[in-house]
Amino acid sequence: MQKAHDAGLHAIVYMNQRLWCVDTPSWTAENAERWAVRERDGQVRKETYNVFDPLPCAPMDVATPFWRNKYAGIADTVIHQYKLDGLYMDQAVLSLACWSPDHGHPLGGGHYWMDGFRELARDLRRRGGALPLGFAGEGGGESWLPDLDAFLTLQVSQERYIDPASGWEVLPLFQAVYHPYAVTYGTYGSLTWPPYDDLWPVASRPANAMTLLDTKYRRQYLLEQARMFVWGMQPTIANFLPEQLTARRSEIDYLERLARLRYGLREFFQGGVMLRAPAVTVDSADVLMSRVSIYAARRGGATEATVRSPMVLAGAWRSSKGQVAIGLASITDEAREVTVQLDARMYALREGARIVRVDAEGRRTPIGRVARGAQAISLTLPGLSGTVLIVE
Ligand SMILES: [Zn+2]
């Protein structure tokens, strides 16, 4: 961590926010069952996730001081002893109803779960003192907005775990509503096969864990990166290893390019309000998707699917100063002619306002002025590039 900090890098670690496995010595020694979530029938709720090492775990009730203190105590060690910069609190942003009669909360429904989580979040920040810590949770949820810094929205890579043939299409609805108030991030988008934990049974370890995926799936990754950019998400890559800096240079360049572009224009892409994306005229193509998720491929190998996608994705944002930005991300290797339909009325743009094109290197080039009504703006996008049109 010291080496990372010296290099200007910050790290948060995974720390599940509610599970305690019931076969552990500590479960008995600390009488954890007393503070576990109970179902309507009075039984302790049990959840089992890992198909290779199927240990039942009990969700603990965050409304109880016992569990909050236990969790905050571990967090304290992680933050002060190991010097981490925060936590990814898995399964936070999911709440449960608890029917335990002696936890001091109403049976079943109520707002005790949120009250308890808020207490926990306050305690974590209090223990952190002046440290600039970050806390993230799983999923997007309105009730957690005041208490968490970042929200894991893996749906950007949904095809990796849900068959597109099921008919579900991902829409950035959470970002559309809450973008200025919440940093969303995260993806299963990876250039490798999923990892395998050293603590899981050796016998079921696949030979390909963390080895590079076939490049026939690269456009899936590019599409995921492009979505993150035009949806205003924090750019993320899953399962990164240094070998990818050389073996998958163009894919990493793409991530870097979009990340820099976003970073230079955070008033739109991090703090802005999402607007309706403009219509963009560009060709579409089938994108081959690998369906390997995290565990899914382990039983029976990978499956594939295809989705139809435009070769340039678009998003639109309004900054707090009232400027509008159109973000464009190309997922094709060749340059593309695109036409962006800019509707002055839809975005409430002033006629004559200057339109500036910003590229990934930060160069700003004036390309015209806003016309009355709708106007078509033709552009050439270099391969695998990001471009932003700002209406000043
Ligand atoms: Zn309870």
The whole-model pTM stands at: 0.95
Q: What is the mean pLDDT of residues 69-87?
A: 97
Distance in Å, CA 128 to ligand 1 centroid: 27
Task: Give the C-alpha distances (Å, rounded to integers) separating 95 from 1, 137, 155.
Answer: 32, 12, 19
Q: How confident is the model at residue 299 (pLDDT cuts 50, 70, 90)?
A: low
Task: Tell me which residues have their CB within 5 A of the ion that is ligand 1.
Answer: 61, 98, 100, 103
In this predicted structure, what is the pLDDT of residue 204?
83
Distance in Å, CA 61 to ligand 1 centroid: 5
Residue 296 has pLDDT above 80, yes or no: no
Distance in Å, CA 69 to ligand 1 centroid: 15
Distance in Å, CA 80 to ligand 1 centroid: 30
- Rounded to whole angstroms, the Cα distance separating 211 from 198 reads 15
Q: What is the mean pLDDT of the chain?
A: 95
Q: How confident is the model at residue 298 (pLDDT cuts 50, 70, 90)?
A: low
Residue 356 has pLDDT above 80, yes or no: yes
**2-22: per-residue pLDDT in tens?**
999 999 999 999 999 999 999
**87-119: per-residue pLDDT in tens?**
999 999 999 999 999 999 999 999 999 999 999
In this predicted structure, what is the pLDDT of residue 140?
95
3-state SS assignment for residue 309? strand
Supply the DSSP string of 106-157, one letter for each residue. -SBSSSHHHHHHHHHHHHHHHHHTTS--EEEEES--GGGTTT-SEEE-GGGG
Distance in Å, CA 66 to ligand 1 centroid: 11
Q: What is the mean pLDDT of residues 119-147?
A: 96
In this predicted structure, what is the pLDDT of residue 59?
98
Higher pLDDT, 267 or 205: 267
**248-274: per-residue pLDDT in tens?**
999 999 999 999 999 999 999 999 999
In this predicted structure, what is the pLDDT of residue 53?
82
Segment among 269-283, 299-313, 342-356 with least mean pLDDT = 299-313
Distance in Å, CA 117 to ligand 1 centroid: 13
Residue 300 has pLDDT above 70, yes or no: no
In this predicted structure, what is the pLDDT of residue 156?
97
In this predicted structure, what is the pLDDT of residue 235?
97
Residue 197 has pLDDT above 90, yes or no: no
Segment among 260-269, 291-300, 362-371 with least mean pLDDT = 291-300
Distance in Å, CA 135 to ligand 1 centroid: 24
In this predicted structure, what is the pLDDT of residue 278?
97
Amino acid at 155: Q
Q: How confident is the model at residue 49 (pLDDT cuts 50, 70, 90)?
A: confident
In terms of Cα–Cα distance, which of 233, 236, 148 is closest to 187?
236
- Rounded to whole angstroms, the Cα distance separating 45 from 37 reads 6
Distance in Å, CA 17 to ligand 1 centroid: 15
In this predicted structure, what is the pLDDT of residue 51?
80
Residue 295 has pLDDT above 80, yes or no: no
In this predicted structure, what is the pLDDT of residue 360?
86
